[in-house]
Amino acid sequence: MSVLELRQVHRTHGTGATIVHALRGIDLVVRTGELVAVMGPSGSGKSTLLNLAGGLDSPTSGEVVVDGTVLGSCSRKALAALRRRKIGYVFQDLNLLPSLTAAENVALPLDLDGVRGSRKQALDALSEVDLNGYGDRFPDEMSGGQQQRVAIARALIGERTLVLADEPTGALDSQTGEAVLRLLRSKVDAGAAGMLVTHDARHAAWADRVVFLRDGRVVDTSGPLDQPEELLRAP
Amino acid sequence: MSVKHGLLALLERGPMYGYQLRAAFESSTGGTWPLNIGQVYTTLSRLERDELVRPLPENETGQRPFEITDLGHAELAKWFASPVSRSDRPRDELAIKLALAITTPGVDVRAVVQTQRGAAMRTLQEYTRLKTDVGDLPWLLVLDSMIFQAEAEVRWLDHCEASLVRYEAPAAQPVDADLPRDAEVPR
């Protein structure tokens, strides 16, 4: 089932001689259980694409559809609610609120919607990312990897169907970064859909598909090999 | 790496006969380097000739195990202490291909780069997929080595593409002010 769909999406900034074409006619579908990585050089439109997919920006033309809802047809209030309920974000700089505990950070999207039992759900979500017993810790009492796991728990709490990650491993060391990606992968396998923007090919390799952008266009897409066992044959 | 040193390292664990050595070798390299039994016995006879291993009496099933000698221990220690020389590796066909692509008229070099990057990325995806099923550390490290090599290729291709953009820039025609043009996206 398609969770995210971009249909002929264009995004330009400025007008006339100073116009910048950030995205030019992007068509992309991300389905349930699928993780798609977006790669490309700086300025290729990766972050613009992620912002449009998350309803944080609007296309100049074309449509962005999340879980069956055309974002452009939503009121601001409806869009905010959809972002809160359906879309999870994981950013490089985490965006955890320092004055809230891990459990409070994770429960925040539910609290904003007045959901009962949000703390229990938050503790369950923390447990799922191997942070059992960390609910009452503040972000500055946790390591970078633990904080990133809190951010992932927050991104996936409730009925989120789409998780969007922008360089989610940031400055984490290679092992911790890999643990974060394994977690993202397992969450997607468990029934979400994911889009991951990254410069790092090793991280993009956790995705089912890798979309390459250049100058605002998709120039290539790489999927699985037909016969992966061939890779293990000696030359 | 030579099969010789691989077998010496395996015999450091204890005496083994040919088929055991072949199985242990393939298991240690995650099947990335299949050996035929003939290679194993040829190598064992050379190791015996050089007094790096010695044969033991046949066991009840008629298999003759080999054990490592003191000379073998010393050779193995020397091998572990020495770096692997890059000059022993074959020429990099990809680098040569790209260099030729740049100097061959009519070749879309960025397409050549992207084709290679797509292939390297698919390889990387498959290695990563294999990694999710592996719990055995030696095999994981072999797999990680292949992952990092494939990643290095992708990074190098990214670098090539960025270099191509800069390389092409001086040859670009002046922009006609009357035509709409696409500006670079600011960062």
| Contact state of A20 with B130 under an 8 Å Cβ cutoff | no
Nearest CB to A232: which of B32, B154, B183?
A: B32
| Contact state of A224 with B126 under an 8 Å Cβ cutoff | yes
Strand partners, A21: A12
Which chain B residues contact residue A185 at CB under 8 A?
A: 132
Whole-angstrom distance, CA of residue A110 vs CA of residue B18: 63
Q: Is A205 a residue whose pLDDT tops 60?
A: yes
Please tell me the predicted confidence (pLDDT) of residue A138.
95
Please tell me the predicted confidence (pLDDT) of residue A212.
92
CB of B59 within 8 Å of a chain A CB? The answer is: no
Q: Is A223 a residue whose pLDDT tops 80?
A: no
Q: Is A106 a residue whose pLDDT tops 60?
A: yes
Query: What are A12-47's pLDDT values in tens digits?
Result: 998 888 888 999 999 999 999 999 999 998 888 998
- Sheet of A35-39, strands arranged across: A87-91, A162-166, A193-197, A35-39, A209-214, A217-222
Which of A222, A225, A229 to probe by mutation at the B interface, max B CB count within 10 Å?
A: A222
Whole-angstrom distance, CA of residue B34 vs CA of residue A7: 48
End-to-end CA distance of chain A: 40
Average model confidence (pLDDT) across chain A: 87
- Pick the closest to residue A30 from A181, A192, A190 (CA basis): A192
Find where tokens 């900034």 sit: A13
Nearest CB to B121: which of A185, A201, A215?
A: A201
The number of C-beta contacts closer than 8 angstroms across A and B is 97
* Mean pLDDT of all residues in A184-199: 90
Which chain A residues contact residue B132 at CB under 8 A?
A: 182, 185
| Contact state of A19 with B183 under an 8 Å Cβ cutoff | yes
Chain A contacts to B (CB-CB under 8 A) = 13-14, 17-22, 39, 41-45, 48, 182, 185, 200-202, 204-208, 210, 212, 215-216, 219-225, 228, 231-234
Average model confidence (pLDDT) across chain B: 81
Nearest CB to A41: which of B30, B158, B182?
A: B158
> What are the extents of the domains in chain B?
3-85, 90-170
Which chain A residues contact residue B147 at CB under 8 A?
A: 202, 205
Please tell me the predicted confidence (pLDDT) of residue A180.
81
Which chain A residues contact residue B126 at CB under 8 A?
A: 224-225, 228, 231
Find the closest chain A residue to B90 by CA distance: A235
- Strand B66-68 to strand B53-55: parallel, antiparallel, or no bridges (unpaired)? antiparallel
Query: What are B48-94's pLDDT values in tens digits?
Result: 999 999 999 998 888 999 999 999 999 988 887 777 665 555 556 77
**Is residue A59 within 8 Å of A11, Cβ to Cβ?**
yes
**Is residue A37 within 8 Å of A203, Cβ to Cβ?**
yes
**Arch. (CATH architecture) of A2-98+145-223:** 3-Layer(aba) Sandwich (3.40)
Nearest CB to A41: which of B123, B162, B177?
A: B162
Please tell me the predicted confidence (pLDDT) of residue A144.
85
Please tell me the predicted confidence (pLDDT) of residue B178.
46
Please tell me the predicted confidence (pLDDT) of residue A91.
79
Nearest CB to A45: which of B122, B177, B185?
A: B185
* Mean pLDDT of all residues in B155-181: 66
Contacts of A12 by beta carbon, 8 Å cutoff, 6+ apart: A19, A20, A21, A22, A60
CATH number, span B3-85: 1.10.10.10
Band the pLDDT of A226: cuts 50, 70, 90.
Answer: low
Q: Is B18 a residue whose pLDDT tops 90?
A: yes
> What are the extents of the domains in chain A?
2-98+145-223
**Is residue B100 within 8 Å of A202, Cβ to Cβ?**
no
Contacts of A98 by beta carbon, 8 Å cutoff, 6+ apart: A138, A139, A140
Which chain A residues contact residue B183 at CB under 8 A?
A: 14, 18-21
One DSSP character per residue, chain A reads -EEEEEEEEEEEES-GGG-EEEEEEEEEEEETT-EEEEE-STTSSHHHHHHHHTTSS--SEEEEEETTEEGGGS-HHHHHHHHHHHEEEEETT----TTS-HHHHHHHHHHHTT-TTHHHHHHHHHHHTT-TT-TT--GGGS-HHHHHHHHHHHHHSTT--EEEEESTTTT--HHHHHHHHHHHHHHHHTT-EEEEE-S-HHHHTTSSEEEEEETTEEEEEE---S-GGGGGS--
CB of B148 within 8 Å of a chain A CB? The answer is: yes
Nearest CB to A231: which of B126, B161, B183?
A: B126
Please tell me the predicted confidence (pLDDT) of residue B185.
41
Query: What are B109-124's pLDDT values in tens digits?
Result: 888 888 888 888 988 9
Q: Is A235 a residue whose pLDDT tops 50?
A: no
Find the closest chain A residue to B155 by CA distance: A201
Query: What are A125-165's pLDDT values in tens digits?
Result: 898 888 899 999 999 999 988 888 898 888 888 878 899 99
| Contact state of A201 with B118 under an 8 Å Cβ cutoff | no
Please tell me the predicted confidence (pLDDT) of residue B27.
78
Q: State what percent of residues in chain B have pLDDT above 90.
A: 25
